[in-house]
Structure 1
Amino acid sequence: LKYATFNVHVRNSTGQLYQNYTWIIAWHNYFTVILIILKQFFKGVLEKYLQLLSLGLKWDNFTGLVIISYRDASFGTCSFHLTLLDCFHAINKALQYGFLDFNKFDVNEYEHYERAENGDFNWIIPNKFIAFSGPHSRSKIENGYPHHAPEAYFPYFRKHKVTTIIRLNKKLYDAKRFTDAGFEHFDLFFADGSTPTDTIVKTFLNICENAEGVIAVHCKAGLGRTGTLIACYIMKHYRMTAAETIAWIRINRPGSVIGPQQHFLMDKQAELWTEGDIFRAKLKGNHKIAVTRILSGVVDISINDTRSRRTIQKDTELYSDEDETNCVTQGDKLRALKSRRQAKAPTAEISSISVNKFKRSAFSVREPGVLVS
């Protein structure tokens, strides 16, 4: 994130000084602007924002300022307009639920791990969800984008109590490499840029509700499919609106939830809220929530429920992961774009990394401050 601070002098219609604000403008490279009122760190921020809008007050420093929508990472016309107020609501909820703690947030760590060469991953909910770019069979650089083998993530995942890996894209690595290392691994494939079936959503939620530790979710770029399913969990269990949920995920991992996936979440909101209400009612009623076979009787998904290897067969209703094998997908384009963007704006913490380093089988996602030559 890049930051710049400035003061805003707000006057009423008669020209009297109404109030001074200290603002911070924060942006993530080419992603859209988020404004955060710093004074009192969000205490009354929503009320102040609405008050400014309703009074039509003049901003001395901002004649003609236009706040654009906080959009997705797709290449076409924006079809879902996420507003500044949606972002405020999202951060307000995040503070309430403990997703965000200004005293503990480590900017250097965030900037380090979101870079492609350092793993390309972000925490969405602390101690619950990591969203990351899909691993490959071996560490390498392809079309300028660094790929990481599964083993590259092991040290960080173990340190932060990750127990479960969920793959949503085609099989670019053998899941046995995770399961042999003690992680649970699930496959829930659906096509790049598309929306999940109800079966996949329910399966994902069941896995996450019964996972013993942190869940790391990936697709190709770790943006669209990944963000969509994590959003379903947040909407169900925290009753956040679709807009708030998309805003929160996108603040953490810019560009997440792409195109029709945004409208899909809007359509799923009421259903997920109802499911969440039922889930919480059962817990309050001391009903035992058992780990059961997911969606028994559903013929298009089956689970081999073993500790050594759990594999959920792909939903064969519309697609197979072979559809992504011999074509350039949306995820490929997004990863290439991110790599080019980061190459133009290096930070002081990052050093250049040679291709040979990526070819080493023992290569791992490195800690901030650990330089590789």
Structure 2
Amino acid sequence: MFRIPPTKRRRQVLLNMDSDFENVMLNASEFIKGRLFFVSLSTNIKPKSTSTVHYFSIDNELSYDSFYLDFGPLNLAMLYHYSDKLKKKLNNPAFINKKIVHCTGPDFQKRANAAFLIGSYAIIYLDLEPEKAFEILNQGSQKDYTQFRDASIGQPYTISLLDCLKAVKKALHFGFFNFESFDFLEYEHYERVENGDFNWIVPNKFIAFCGPQNRSKLSNIGYPVHSPETYFSYFRRHKVSTVIRLNKKDYDASKFIQAGFDHKDLYFVDGGTPSDRIMQNFINICENAKGAIAVHCKAGLGRTGSLIACYIMKHWKFTAEESIAWIRICRPGSIIGHQQNWLQQKENQLWEAGDMYRKRVGLASPPKCAVGIYSFSELKRKKSQDNVTGIVKKVDCMEINDPQDNLDHEETQGDKLNVIKAQRSRSKFASNMPLEREKLRRVHVTTTTTTTNNQTVLRGGKVVTSAARVTGSSTSRVMTKRGSDERDWSWSCEKSKIISPSYQWG
């Protein structure tokens, strides 16, 4: 790749950066001529904005929740928040004559995630090809971007920043997502362990979720599990027709069947790869399903992600790395260890099968989706409360052991991943209220005392806290904590003014 390393003088003139920061600059990338830049620094100290340049950083605002040694890419909701933030900066009258500079510090993991965000923004909103965005990110770079790895502690199985950018481009092209109608609150709500732990991967086609148990309770090793009944309401409203189980039988399949869902068992070992027979059976079931398919294993990450990736590779011709990247952007931690090598080995076989399938059914090219995942619709605006949202209230009084359940008590890889995810969730503010009420809470102004930290912190796509002072007003904008009790929410609604549902980051 041909790179043009900018001289110190060129970069200094370009960004109006003083000489102190010029000496710690690793590279400067220009995405909009004279307007939008991405800068890597060898220091955590962010430059101060001037009358001609506005600097900002998301290194401590958007943060990945790791399982083991994985660190990214950041999830789809975070990409939405970043894009919304950057669009507002570019359109802000106060910044109209300023250069907008996204700075990132020396942490190689945060640097890779920051590059993923602005590179994806350039693909979505500036219509750049992934290769061009990647080339710009590498302009004058003194070091390469570190590769993202799988959610394990052993030998790393990696995908590159370019793989992730290509995945975003293909997903955008085929209509997998559309930020103009993206409901980030729904994503953030249902990804939580206590609210169901599931994510859409392909619109109206695939949901990946954590494996249910016969009863909603705390598992033997301490994480909340959900009964099949927990999911009925949501699955029905979103036209899920089929449930596919890939792990050992931890619940009675007749519960889904009697509720009107098709249920299929395609077991293979936790952390393993499926046989060709299982892979083909999975694809056949999904091709003939009348509605969306909800797929689970123990944690809904490894086995689940691997088979969904096969379908994406066949029907939308993603590469193995692109399918892995997209599924991880939707559901972080998916596809683990040698499952990645297995997908790479199956790539040509699945592409050929996809070509034959499209020829047989008369499709000239892979189909495009009419709406993206988590898109607003009349169906999703219904105020009917999902059983899933009440699960937190039930967990506290449930038995830890259920002697009637025929469970496999051997701790598996899926169990370990579930425990980690549950521990992360407990360290944050758990939501005890319906999603519709939670949406209302997130858009209020409340009176507050002076704060010492003005940053909004998002981890794993979930708001932890935020406080940003509103210019010319005695009130401050606060994103209320999910853990606040009902009285706090009622006071907020009664006393405060409703504002537009947007984040006001620095």
TM-score range, shorter-chain basis?
A: 0.7 to 0.9
Structure 2: stretches of 5+ with no match in the other structure? 15-28, 39-57, 74-112, 365-406, 439-481, 487-506
The corresponding residue for 1:313 is none
Q: 3-state DSSP class of the match of 2:224?
A: strand
- Tell me if structure 1 keeps the 8 A contact 2:223–2:419: yes
Q: 3-state DSSP class of the match of 1:166?
A: strand
The corresponding residue for 1:106 is 183
CA spacing shift, 1:102–1:131, aligned 2, 3 Å: same
Q: Which amino acid aligns with 1:339?
A: A
Does residue 269 of structure 1 match 2:337? no
Looking at structure 2, the residues matched to 243 and 262 of structure 1 have their Cα atoms a distance apart, in angstroms, of 8
- Tell me if structure 1 keeps the 8 A contact 2:306–2:339: yes
The corresponding residue for 1:164 is 242
Looking at structure 2, the residues matched to 51 and 126 of structure 1 have their Cα atoms a distance apart, in angstroms, of 31
The corresponding residue for 2:72 is 32
Does residue 87 of structure 1 match 2:87? no
CA spacing shift, 1:274–1:113, aligned 2, 3 Å: same
- Tell me if structure 1 keeps the 8 A contact 2:150–2:158: no
Does residue 134 of structure 1 match 2:211? yes
Could you list the per-position Cα deviations for residues 257-290 of structure 1 after superposition, in whole angstroms to 9, with x for gaps in the alignment? Answer: 011100000000000000000000101189xxxx
Looking at structure 2, the residues matched to 168 and 269 of structure 1 have their Cα atoms a distance apart, in angstroms, of 21
Q: 3-state DSSP class of the match of 1:220?
A: coil
- Deviation for aligned residue 1:153: 0.2
Q: 3-state DSSP class of the match of 2:181?
A: coil
Could you list the per-position Cα deviations for residues 210-257 of structure 1 after superposition, in whole angstroms to 9, with x for gaps in the alignment? Answer: 000000000000000000000000000000000000000000000100
Does residue 21 of structure 1 match 2:39? no
Could you list the per-position Cα deviations for residues 115-165 of structure 1 after superposition, in whole angstroms to 9, with x for gaps in the alignment? Answer: 000000000001100000000000001233111000000000000000000
Q: Which amino acid aligns with 2:196?
A: G
2:268 counterpart (183, 190, 199): 190
CA spacing shift, 1:190–1:161, aligned 2, 3 Å: same
- Deviation for aligned residue 1:76: 2.0
Does residue 149 of structure 1 match 2:227? yes
Looking at structure 2, the residues matched to 119 and 247 of structure 1 have their Cα atoms a distance apart, in angstroms, of 23
The corresponding residue for 2:280 is 202
- Tell me if structure 1 keeps the 8 A contact 2:148–2:159: yes
The corresponding residue for 1:51 is 135
- Detail structure 1 runs of 4+ shifted over 4 Å in the superposition: 22-26, 370-373
CA spacing shift, 1:120–1:41, aligned 2, 3 Å: same
Query: Larger Cα Rg: Structure 1 or Structure 2?
Result: 2
What is the correspondence of 1:255-294 to structure 2 with a 5 Å cutoff? 255-284=333-362
Structure 1: stretches of 5+ with no match in the other structure? 1-9, 59-63, 287-323, 353-365
Could you list the per-position Cα deviations for residues 22-63 of structure 1 after superposition, in whole angstroms to 9, with x for gaps in the alignment? Answer: 5666443233253222356251152443333664257xxxxx
- Deviation for aligned residue 1:70: 2.3
Looking at structure 2, the residues matched to 103 and 11 of structure 1 have their Cα atoms a distance apart, in angstroms, of 36
CA spacing shift, 1:195–1:47, aligned 2, 3 Å: closer
Identity over the aligned pairs, expressed in percent?
Answer: 50
Figure out how many residues of one structure are paired with residues of the other and give that number.
305
CA spacing shift, 1:47–1:241, aligned 2, 3 Å: closer
Q: Which amino acid aligns with 2:429?
A: P
Looking at structure 1, the residues matched to 292 and 363 of structure 2 have their Cα atoms a distance apart, in angstroms, of 26
Looking at structure 1, the residues matched to 269 and 258 of structure 2 have their Cα atoms a distance apart, in angstroms, of 27
Looking at structure 1, the residues matched to 217 and 171 of structure 2 have their Cα atoms a distance apart, in angstroms, of 36
